[in-house]
Amino acid sequence: MKYLLWLLKAAIFFTLFAFALNNQQDATVNFFFGASWRAPLVLVVLAAFAGGMVVGALGMLPGWWKHRSAAAQFSDPPLAPVAAAPVTGAAVLVPTDLPAVRQHGL
C-alpha cells in the first residue's frame, strides 16, 4: 500500500511537471483601470489556485472560530466528589454533566 501511494504521488507530480513544461508561453491577466500582469501561464494558474485557497480558508474562519469557542466551553467539565476509594481512602473526582458526543465519519 505504501508503494502504491508513492506511485500515485509520483504520477501526480510528473503530470503537473509536464503541464508546467507545456505551458511556458506568456499570458496576460488584465485587471481594472488598465493594469495588467504578464507572466508564464503556469504561474498564472498557480497564482489563481493559491488565491482560491486563501479565499476558501478565509471563508471558513468564522465557522472554525465558532466551533473552537464551543469546544472551549466543554474542555474542563465540572468535577464532583464520589465515595472514598476502598484502597487508599482518598476521594475520587469524576466528571459530571458531560456533553453529548456526536460521531462524525468521513
At 57-87, the pLDDT tens digits run 999 999 888 888 888 777 665 565 655 555 5
Higher pLDDT, 49 or 99: 49
Domain chopping of the chain, boundaries = 9-95
d(CA 82, CA 21): 70
Which of 34, 54, 22, 29 has its CA nearest to residue 44? Answer: 29
C-beta separation of 92 from 85 below 8 A: yes
Q: What is this structure's pTM?
A: 0.51
Question: pLDDT (tens digit, 9 = 90+) per residue, 1-46?
Answer: 888 999 999 999 999 888 888 878 888 889 899 899 898 888 888 8
